[in-house]
Amino acid sequence: MGRKPKISPLQKHGVLVLNKPSGPTSADCLNSIKRELKQYKIGHAGTLDPLAEGVLLVMLGNATKLGPYLTGHDKVYSGSLTIGRTTDTYDIQGTETSTGDISGITEKMVEDEILAWNDLTSQEVPAYSAAKHNGKPLYELARNGEETPIKIKSIEIFDAEPLEVTLPMARFRVGCSAGTYIRSLVHSLGSRLGCGAVMESLRREESRPYRLSEAHDLDDVLADPDGFEARVIPLADALPHWHRFTVTGTMAASIRNGARIPVEDVCTDGLKIFEGERAMFLDHEGTALALMETKQIDGRLHWVILRGLWG
């Protein structure tokens, strides 16, 4: 029999917006919170590479059920790159694989290539990434010297802009769809310039709907156990970009039993609700009850359960 998961009386249920430091892995940060603050039920939405820093959404307790609804949103990053070299990981933490002549490269050329990111609709997945092939992460294949298949994924880039270019360095900001590899954007820039490029630093400024201004430093979180609860966004407030409805005790019981709820039984204030919209439902005490989505059933629009949050 498997080992039963630990249960902590200190377990919180909500989202911690963490300002991940550069250096540790995302998992390292979670393990520190788990160990030091007894948060045994924990997960995160959207991994950051060890080199990267910035917004990491940490899900606690029942909020771990929110993963699919927090990971798929747009991100905003700022970072820096150096032209004239390449590494196997596309960043400065990898092993150098080539150097290139930058004598013919101008600052305007680098600026134009950063702006050209806005036109990209796909990118190559780095060999050193968590993307899987036949059930194995690509980084595991790469570290074992095995051939890594070329994987292409669709992306959306918006608001890519150069912030400062002083050769061989450049700073940039870019908004992108979830799952975009900024290292690959940098690598592609170096390939187009013909001299190579590596990512020097990266900061996630937004993991929508959350921003860096809302994030808490890991050291501060760990040093203040008594203040931890105040830093956690309650489960009921964890999806601020969704509709939110409070229902009666009778309707809450129906939802717990898997019932579909006619939209007009909830939305009585003139709010227009269409098919495919989503909402957080709360019981009369303000406790998170379920994530719901509207669907047409027998010619009538109903709220149906996406994910129960009770218990």
Catalytic residue numbers?
49
Spatial separation of the C-alpha atoms in residues 225 and 229, rounded to whole Å: 8
- Of 294, 299, 287, which Cα lies nearest the Cα of 308? 287
CA 281 → CA 67, 113, 306, distances in Å? 17, 46, 11
Residues in the chain: 311
The helix, strand and coil proportions of the chain, stated in percent and rounded to the nearest 5, come to 25, 35, 40
CA dihedral 34, 35, 39, 43 (to 10 degrees): 10
Angle, helices 107-115 vs 182-193, to 10°: value is 130
- Nearest-CA neighbor of 60 among 226, 229, 289? 229
Query: Which three-class secondary structure state does DSSP give residue 139?
Result: helix
The enclosing H or E element of 261 equals strand 261-262
Q: How many CB atoms lie within 10 A of CB 299?
A: 5
Q: Is-contact 131 151, C-beta < 8 A?
A: yes
